[in-house]
């Protein structure tokens, strides 16, 4: 006969559960041990005094206050800001949290945001505004500082910077040093050596009272090179492998578009471009292929109250190696999907997917290593636009029919693909110096510049693991993919 009353069962359960909870509470993540390393590596660069983010995430208290909110914005992928889908293609300087990191954050919140042992805190990293590549050969600052009013608006401004070189100069690395990380969102650098183009741009500058001139969607003039370089917060400088790079000619100018984010107080910026010249002559100059409305047959018109997409194609006649990819559209932009296909459609090489375009977080996205596109392949770019009232960024209410133009109230469809003509062995050339014949330091630096999956040291494999991402090539990406899954390169 069962003598236990339901009440007794219930109270035993309650006692058992609370005892169990007390024990299990000790296994929750704590701030200093588990959370601080994730925040410092992924958030503090922007969330610190003088950083781009609206508040600091440094101390236990800072992070405690925002705990639940941090769980939400990281789970949704809103933070850290990074618009390409990392499951489609990895890029240098990638800002993404691993699933493991996200679990640690939600576990910490679930466990009551415990502090843990302050002695275990890894220490706040130092964020330097100095070159990470040593002493630059050319230091090219904006000609005048920019003063951004404290009126909470965005600004897109073009600055003309004379290169001042007196002979043909080979460039092996380009580094952007922001003068004010509280407002600098991104920069895109163009190049011209054409006196007529430079004169037109100088006239635009002279007509505009403030330093530089406004350039929301383009440079205002037609440049020989629309993509000399680019930068977003946290992105490493571009370092080309030996023999590959850019060239500066006497009389040339760099055109730097700066995007300044909104600020409640007046801020000043003087951003500098550092140029590192090459000892080895640049024999393979990085060019830019472009997909634009010239690459599709219908007119580029986005009717009011419609969601519409355009499909551009570009046939690749000979083998090329891609350096970077930069999709560009304005405020009606909704998504991008860019890939290359073989002529028989049996092979697809993913290039970039941006499932939710955000004009404010655009950038130039550099592949970790040169990416071969065989001759005969076709690059496809599908850009989607939302010209309805559902798009909160729509500059018109009610929506208006939009077409091509450089202004906020006009639209664009461009994909810039930086490339060089392919040479044997290109797929082993990484950006960041040296070849990747498994130099642990090179691998570690590629790893540090964007891959954080809870592994913090890298060893060279005895036997390489193979083509993990099955793109037909064995590259650093494969090694890193292996690392992410198994924690070490080869078991």
> Taking the complex as a whole, how short is the minimal distance between the CB of residue 369 and ligand HEC, in angstroms?
24
> Taking the complex as a whole, how short is the minimal distance between the CB of residue 32 and ligand HEC, in angstroms?
16
Q: Which is nearer to ligand HEC, 97 or 165 (CB)?
A: 97
Q: Which is nearer to ligand HEC, 66 or 422 (CB)?
A: 66
Other CB atoms within a 10 A radius of the CB of residue 339 amount to: 18
> Taking the complex as a whole, how short is the minimal distance between the CB of residue 136 and ligand HEC, in angstroms?
24
> Taking the complex as a whole, how short is the minimal distance between the CB of residue 366 and ligand HEC, in angstroms?
16
> Taking the complex as a whole, how short is the minimal distance between the CB of residue 254 and ligand HEC, in angstroms?
23
CA distance readout (Å), 426 to 300, 436, 460, 490 = 36, 10, 20, 24
Q: Which is nearer to ligand HEC, 260 or 422 (CB)?
A: 260
> Taking the complex as a whole, how short is the minimal distance between the CB of residue 88 and ligand HEC, in angstroms?
20
Q: Which is nearer to ligand HEC, 81 or 237 (CB)?
A: 81
Of 322, 166, 137, the C-alpha closest to 244 is 322
Q: Which is nearer to ligand HEC, 229 or 233 (CB)?
A: 233
> Taking the complex as a whole, how short is the minimal distance between the CB of residue 189 and ligand HEC, in angstroms?
19
Residues forming the site for ligand HEC (CB under 6 A): 42-43, 45-47, 52-54, 66, 69-70, 73-74, 79-81, 95, 97, 233-234, 261
> Taking the complex as a whole, how short is the minimal distance between the CB of residue 225 and ligand HEC, in angstroms?
26
> Taking the complex as a whole, how short is the minimal distance between the CB of residue 55 and ligand HEC, in angstroms?
6
Q: Which is nearer to ligand HEC, 97 or 316 (CB)?
A: 97
Structure tokens at 483: 């690392």
Q: Which is nearer to ligand HEC, 114 or 452 (CB)?
A: 452
Q: Which is nearer to ligand HEC, 184 or 430 (CB)?
A: 184
CA–CA dist 44, 36 (Å, integer): 10
Structure tokens at 227: 């993509």
Strand partners, 284: 244
> Taking the complex as a whole, how short is the minimal distance between the CB of residue 48 and ligand HEC, in angstroms?
10
Q: Which is nearer to ligand HEC, 43 or 414 (CB)?
A: 43
The residues, any chain, with a CB within 8 Å of residue 89's CB and separated by 6 or more, are 350, 351, 352, 353, 367
Q: Which is nearer to ligand HEC, 53 or 116 (CB)?
A: 53
Q: Which is nearer to ligand HEC, 116 or 218 (CB)?
A: 116
Rg from Cα positions in the chain? 25
> Taking the complex as a whole, how short is the minimal distance between the CB of residue 146 and ligand HEC, in angstroms?
18
């Amino acid at each position: 006969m069962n003598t236990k009353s339901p009440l007794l069962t219930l109270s035993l359960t309650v006692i058992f559960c609370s005892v169990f909870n007390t024990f299990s509470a000790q296994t929750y993540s704590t701030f200093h041990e588990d959370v601080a390393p994730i925040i410092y590596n992924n958030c503090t660069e922007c969330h610190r005094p003088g950083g781009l983010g609206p508040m600091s995430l440094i101390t236990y208290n800072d992070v405690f206050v925002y705990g639940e909110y941090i769980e939400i914005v990281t789970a949704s992928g809103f933070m850290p800001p990074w618009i390409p889908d990392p499951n489609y293609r990895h890029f240098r300087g990638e800002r993404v949290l691993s699933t493991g990191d996200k679990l640690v954050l939600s576990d910490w919140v679930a466990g009551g945001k415990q502090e843990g042992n302050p002695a275990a805190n890894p220490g706040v990293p130092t964020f330097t505004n100095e070159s990470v590549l040593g002493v630059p050969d050319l230091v090219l600052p904006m000609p005048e500082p920019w003063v951004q009013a404290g009126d909470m608006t965005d600004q897109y401004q073009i600055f003309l910077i004379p290169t001042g070189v007196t002979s043909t100069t080979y460039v092996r690395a380009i580094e952007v040093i922001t003068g004010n990380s509280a407002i600098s969102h991104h920069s895109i650098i163009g190049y011209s050596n054409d006196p007529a183009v430079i004169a037109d741009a100088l006239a635009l500058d002279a007509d505009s009272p403030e330093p530089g001139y406004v350039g929301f969607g383009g440079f205002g003039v037609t440049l020989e090179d629309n993509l000399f370089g680019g930068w977003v917060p946290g992105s490493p400088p571009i370092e080309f492998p030996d023999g590959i790079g850019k060239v500066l000619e006497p009389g040339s100018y760099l055109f730097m578009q700066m995007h300044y984010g909104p600020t409640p107080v007046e801020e000043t910026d003087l951003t500098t471009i550092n140029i590192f010249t090459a000892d080895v002559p640049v024999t393979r100059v990085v060019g830019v292929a472009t997909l634009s409305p010239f690459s599709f047959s219908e007119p580029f018109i986005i009717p009011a109250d419609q969601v519409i997409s355009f499909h551009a194609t570009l046939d690749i006649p000979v083998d090329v190696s891609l350096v970077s990819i930069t999709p560009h559209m304005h405020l009606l932009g909704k998504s991008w999907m860019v890939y290359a296909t073989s002529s028989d459609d049996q092979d697809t090489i993913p290039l970039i997917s941006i499932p939710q375009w955000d004009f404010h977080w655009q950038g130039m996205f550099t592949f970790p290593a040169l990416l071969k596109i065989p001759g005969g392949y076709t690059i496809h770019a599908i850009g989607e636009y939302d010209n309805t009232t559902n798009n909160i960024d729509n500059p018109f209410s009610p929506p208006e029919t939009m077409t091509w133009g450089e202004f906020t109230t006009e639209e664009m469809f461009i994909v810039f693909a930086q490339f060089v003509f392919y040479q044997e062995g290109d797929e082993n050339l990484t950006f960041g110096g040296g070849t990747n014949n498994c130099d642990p330091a090179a691998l570690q630096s590629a790893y540090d510049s964007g891959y954080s999956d809870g592994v913090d040291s890298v060893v060279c494999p005895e036997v390489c693991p193979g083509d993990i991402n099955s793109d037909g090539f064995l590259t650093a990406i494969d090694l890193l993919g292996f690392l992410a899954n198994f924690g070490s390169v080869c078991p």
